[in-house]
Amino acid sequence: MTDDGRRHERLPDPEWPVLESEIEYDTGWFTGGYDLVEQPNGTTKRYYWAELATAVVVVAVADDHVVFVEQYRPNIRQTQLELPAGVVERGESFTDAGLRELREETGFAADSASVIGDVWCSTGVLRHRRGFVFAEGLTPVERDLDDNEFLSVRAVPVEEAIERATEPPTNDATVEGVLLARDEGLL
C-alpha cells in the first residue's frame, strides 16, 4: 500500500491465489502494476491495475439549490459542471473529507454531513474507492483552493440538478452523486 499521506483502502484476502504482485510505475498521484493470478481453471493471468487514493464527492444543498463547481479538465480538454470532490487524507472519514473539500472548493461550511454512498470505481482496471456525502446547513466561509484548482461555484435549483448533472460533458462521480441523493429523497 502506498504511503503518501492520502487514504488508500486495504484489499481483502484474494479468493484466487495471487502468485506475484508488482508495481511497475508510481507517479506520486497513482500507482500502476499487476497481480499474477491463478484462475479457477489452473491457468495464470496478469491482471493490471492502477491505484488511486480514496476520494469523496459532496452533494451540498442550500436554499433549494445544489452547489456545483465548474472547472476545466485538461485530461478531456473540456469544462465541466461537477460536484465538489477531492482526495481523502489518511485518517479522515468520508464526512470529514467531504466537509473539508466543500469548504476549500466552494467557500461553504456545512452544519451536517452524512454518507449516502460508497463504491469501488471501474473495478476492471482501478483500485479506487469513492464515498458520497450529503451536506446541508451551509454558511459562507473563506475558500482555500489548491494551486491547481481554477473553479467557479455554481448554484443550481434542486429541480434542475439531475438534468444539469447529466448534460455532456459530465463525469461518473457527478451523475452518481445526484442520483444517490435523489434516491435517498434528498433532492
pLDDT digits (tens, 9 = 90+) for 40-87: 999 999 999 999 999 999 999 999 999 999 999 999 999 999 999 999
Per the CB < 8 A criterion, the answer to whether 133 and 115 are in contact is yes
Question: What pLDDT score was predicted for residue 5?
Answer: 81
Same domain, 168 and 113: yes
Confidence of residue 4 (pLDDT cuts 50, 70, 90): confident
Same domain, 33 and 117: no
Same domain, 142 and 85: yes
Same domain, 47 and 122: no
Same domain, 67 and 148: yes
C-alpha span between 85 and 101 (Å, rounded): 6
pTM above 0.85, yes or no: yes
For the stretch 101-140, pLDDT in tens is 999 999 999 999 999 999 999 999 999 999 999 999 999 9
DSSP 60-115: EEETTEEEEEEEEETTTTEEEEE--EEEPBTT--HHHHHHHHHHHHHSEEEEEEEE
C-alpha span between 148 and 144 (Å, rounded): 11
User: What is the residue-averaged pLDDT of the chain?
Assistant: 95
Same domain, 94 and 46: no
Per the CB < 8 A criterion, the answer to whether 134 and 102 are in contact is no
C-alpha span between 113 and 115 (Å, rounded): 7
> Which residue segment(s) compose the domain that 42 sits in?
18-51
Same domain, 59 and 109: yes
The percent of residues above 90 in pLDDT, for the chain, comes to 93
In a domain, 31, yes or no: yes
